[in-house]
Amino acid sequence: MNTATRPESAAVEQAAYEDLCLYIDGEFIKGGGRKEQDVVNPANGQPIAKLPHASREDLDRALAAAQRAFETWKKSSPMERARILRKVGDLSRERAKDIGRNITLDMGKPVAEAVGEVMSCSEHCDWHAEECRRIYGRVITPRLPNVRQMVLREPIGVCAAFTPWNFPFNQAIRKIAAAIGAGCTIVIKGPEDAPSAVVAIARMFHEAGLPPGVLNVVWGVPGEVSEYLIKSPIVRKISFTGSVPVGKQLASLAGAHMKRVTMELGGHSPVIVFDDADVDRAADMLVAFKFRNAGQVCVSPTRFYIQEKAYDRFVARFIENTRNLKVGDGLHADTKMGPLAHYRRMPAMLQFVEDAKTRGGRIETGGAKVGDVGSFFAPTVLTNVPDDSMVMTTEPFGPIAPCVPFKTLDEVLARANALPYGLASYAFTSSTKNALAVQNGLEAGMVNVNHFGMALAETPFGGIKDSGIGSEGGIETFDGYLNTKFVTQMD
Ligand code: NAD
């Protein structure tokens, strides 16, 4: 049943919600006549808190603090960095329930998903704690006996990071842990729509004993804050997770000032289900994965290519499972899909459906807003949509799944690779030939065959083509935060 329901008690939620603030030079700051914005619960449209914006002076203070702190933090022992990161991992495990509930309140995902997000991120802290002790340089054999030549890896400096609302804890902790573990300092602007997680992260680092200025949290009008920080000569590296258009804009600005970038941008992930796959298992797994976080996931499967013989069986089961998803307030234990994180995504969802309809697409289930309270959109399955329709070419970033048939391997690879995106991709098959062909043939930063295995602390996460530059996680995680210095010496 797709029924949106009201939360039981707004009063209880308000009491439990994070005390929102800026975090600059080791101080939690709010008030003082600063501009504020409402944070809204998308399940009921009600404001739950006020978020202070950083003034120009606040941004300058954060930059100066990060610059000053870098002078000592860059020389800190990896053992000390590891101790702090490990402590934050422990604290986030302890606090996962409260942090998770607050994430549900400000961005809507089911509370079990939100708590899971925090728990998995504790692992990111653990991983960076271990891995920062393995930042190695190397010695290069010289051409002369009295010469020594070495490669040193040094922290790049002050980083500016911008993180989105869909995984507000995950996206922020990855950037913070990588910067801090590498010996950099960081000024981060989290998502104003869902700010509780980033404030909770700042509190944990503070309690873990991170020196003032190493981490600074600011809020404001995204375009204004990012432009100011990127242009600042203090900042040496930019890391952004968000949409492709904004990523290109920020990367251009960073390029104009010759700053390093890591860009984790949008995707349009193809799913290929071959005739020889376990079709029922694929349909069951894909419904759960597609509608996780209401489809607001950069690696969400977005184009479902099903081989002809498997098509009817897959689509029937996929539709049936989708119809059975319980949509509602993420605080309710039986909710499987919450609201869209904010109302401005609603017109976009309706436009995807309308465009598909006008091009002969069939709405098999969903396709409309649910209820009149909150920003709920029904889990939607479309069929018969042409490859050039909006939903097949533009990232839907919502709970819409278009399913189309294909005939041959070569044909489906060409269709899967036709878009400028290259983030995640998925295939289901029992044939090693097909599995090898998709691993080699898909133009994507990540290829998942017969399961979803990405975004672990020990595995690199990132896209190619328009989907981004660089990786987070895995042993690659510090690459974007380190300079390479060549040293040569003669006796
Ligand atoms: P949006 O592009 O306005 O914002 C997306 C995120 O980027 C937000 O967190 C926002 O605060 C931030 N942002 C926007 N402009 C910025 C700027 N100039 N400087 C710094 N940060 C900026 O779109 P939206 O309506 O909030 O979200 C929908 C779109 O965002 C989707 O189409 C999706 O592609 C993208 N998105 C991607 C991810 C991801 O994980 N790759 C996450 C969230 C949103």
The residue type found at 330 is G
Q: Say yes or no: 244 and 259 in one domain.
A: yes
Q: Please tell me the predicted confidence (pLDDT) of residue 173.
A: 97
pTM of the model: 0.95
Q: Say yes or no: 233 and 376 in one domain.
A: no
Q: Please tell me the predicted confidence (pLDDT) of residue 97.
A: 96
Q: Please tell me the predicted confidence (pLDDT) of residue 50.
A: 98
Distance 362 CA to ligand 1 centre (A): 29
Angle formed by the axes of helices 78-107 and 196-207, nearest 10°: 150
- Ligand 1 contact, 241 CB (< 6 A): yes
Write the pLDDT tens digit of every residue in 301-313. 999 999 999 999 9
Q: Say yes or no: 234 and 280 in one domain.
A: no
Rounded percentage of the chain residues whose pLDDT exceeds 90: 96
Mean pLDDT in residue range 365-390 = 97
Give the C-alpha separation, 15 to 18, whole Å. Answer: 9
Angle formed by the axes of helices 168-182 and 111-131, nearest 10°: 10
Q: Please tell me the predicted confidence (pLDDT) of residue 161.
A: 98
Question: Does position 10 have pLDDT exceeding 90, yes or no?
Answer: no
Q: Say yes or no: 283 and 326 in one domain.
A: yes
Distance 184 CA to ligand 1 centre (A): 25
Rounded percentage of the chain residues whose pLDDT exceeds 70: 97
CATH number at 311 reads 3.40.309.10
Q: Say yes or no: 203 and 275 in one domain.
A: no
Write the pLDDT tens digit of every residue in 79-88. 999 999 999 9
Q: Say yes or no: 483 and 422 in one domain.
A: no
Q: How confident is the model at residue 391 (pLDDT cuts 50, 70, 90)?
A: very high
> Strand, coil or helix: what is 270?
strand
Catalytic residue among 21, 125, 132, 298: 298
Give the C-alpha separation, 141 to 130, whole Å. Answer: 29
Provide the residue range defining the domain that includes 164.
7-265+468-487
Rg (CA), the chain: 23
Question: Does position 13 have pLDDT exceeding 60, yes or no?
Answer: no
Q: Please tell me the predicted confidence (pLDDT) of residue 307.
A: 98
Of 326, 322, 321, give the one whose Cα is nearest residue 337: 326
Q: Please tell me the predicted confidence (pLDDT) of residue 16.
A: 76
Mean pLDDT in residue range 88-98 = 97
Q: Say yes or no: 161 and 19 in one domain.
A: yes
Write the pLDDT tens digit of every residue in 331-359. 999 999 999 999 999 999 999 999 999 99
> Strand, coil or helix: what is 44?
coil
Q: Which 8-state DSSP code applies to residue 267? A: -
> What's the half-sphere exposure (Cβ side, CA atoms, 13 Å) at 476?
12
Would residue 1 count as lying in a domain? no
Would residue 389 count as lying in a domain? yes
Asked if 264 and 461 count as a contact pair (C-beta separation under 8 A), the reply is: yes
Write the pLDDT tens digit of every residue in 137-193. 999 999 999 999 999 999 999 999 999 999 999 999 999 999 999 999 999 999 999
The residue type found at 70 is F
Q: Say yes or no: 279 and 207 in one domain.
A: no
The total domain count for the chain is: 2
Q: Say yes or no: 277 and 388 in one domain.
A: yes
**Residue 294 region, left (φ>0) first, then alpha (ψ -120 to 50), else beta?**
left
Q: Say yes or no: 105 and 188 in one domain.
A: yes
132 included as an active-site residue: no
Write the pLDDT tens digit of every residue in 98-110. 999 999 999 999 9
36 included as an active-site residue: no
Q: Say yes or no: 247 and 106 in one domain.
A: yes
Question: Does position 3 have pLDDT exceeding 60, yes or no?
Answer: no
Would residue 434 count as lying in a domain? yes
Give the C-alpha separation, 261 to 239, whole Å. Answer: 6
Question: Does position 291 have pLDDT exceeding 60, yes or no?
Answer: yes
Would residue 2 count as lying in a domain? no
Give the closest residue (by CA) to ligand 1 atom 8: 164
**Residue 474 region, left (φ>0) first, then alpha (ψ -120 to 50), else beta?**
left
Neighbours of 384 (CB within 10 A): 16
Of 322, 338, 160, give the one whose Cα is nearest residue 250: 160
CATH number at 240 reads 3.40.605.10
Would residue 461 count as lying in a domain? no
| Average pLDDT along the chain | 96
Q: Say yes or no: 175 and 260 in one domain.
A: yes
- Ligand 1 contact, 190 CB (< 6 A): no
> Which single residue is written with the structure tokens 């609201």?
339
Q: Please tell me the predicted confidence (pLDDT) of residue 268.
A: 98
Site to substitute for ligand 1 among 169, 246, 250, 400, most atoms within 8 A of C-beta: 246
Tokens of 342: 């904010």
Would residue 449 count as lying in a domain? yes
